[in-house]
Copies of this chain bind each other. A is one copy, B any other.
Amino acid sequence: MKATYMFGPGDVRIIDAPDPALKDSTDALVRIVRACVCGSDLHPYHGMNETPEGVSMGHEFIGVVEALGSDVRTLAVGDLVIAPFAFSDGTCEFCTEGLYTSCVHGGFWDMPGMGGGQAEAIRVPFADGTLVKVPGVDENSPLLTSLLTLSDVYGTGWHAAHRAGVTAGDTVAVIGDGAVGLLAVLSAKQLGAERIILMGRHKARTDLGIEFGATDVVAERGEEGIAKVRELTGGFGARKVLEAVGHMPAYEQAYKIVRPGGVISRVGVPQYENAPVGFASLFGGNITLTGGPAPVRGYIERLMPAILSGSVNPGRVFDRTVGLDGVPEAYRAMDDREALKVMITF
- Name A residues whose Cβ lies closer than 8 Å to a Cβ of B: 93-94, 97, 99, 101-102, 163, 236, 260-261, 266, 269-270, 272-293, 295
Contact = CB atoms under 8 A, between A and B. Distances in A.
Contacts of A274: 274-278
Given A277-B275, A278-B273, A279-B270, A293 B284 contact: yes
A278 B289 contact: no
Contact of A277 (B102, B277, B283): B277
Nearest to A260: B102
Given A101-B286, A292-B286, A270 B277 contact: yes
Nearest to A266: B283
Q: Report copies per complex.
A: 2
| Interface residue SS majority, chain A | mixed
B287 A292 contact: yes
Contact of A276 (B102, B260, B273, B281): B273
A248 to B, nearest CB: 10
Contacts of A285: 102, 292
Contacts of A284: 292-293
Top 9 nearest A-B pairs (CB, nearest first) are A286-B292, A273-B278, A102-B260, A288-B290, A270-B278, A289-B289, A99-B261, A275-B277, A274-B274
A283 B243 CA distance: 12
Given A266-B283, A270-B278, A261 B293 contact: no
27 contacts: A93-B236, A94-B261, A99-B260, A99-B261, A99-B286, A101-B286, A102-B260, A102-B285, A102-B286, A269-B283, A272-B278, A273-B280, A274-B275, A274-B276, A274-B277, A277-B277, A282-B289, A282-B292, A283-B293, A284-B292, A285-B292, A286-B291, A286-B292, A286-B293, A286-B295, A288-B288, A289-B289
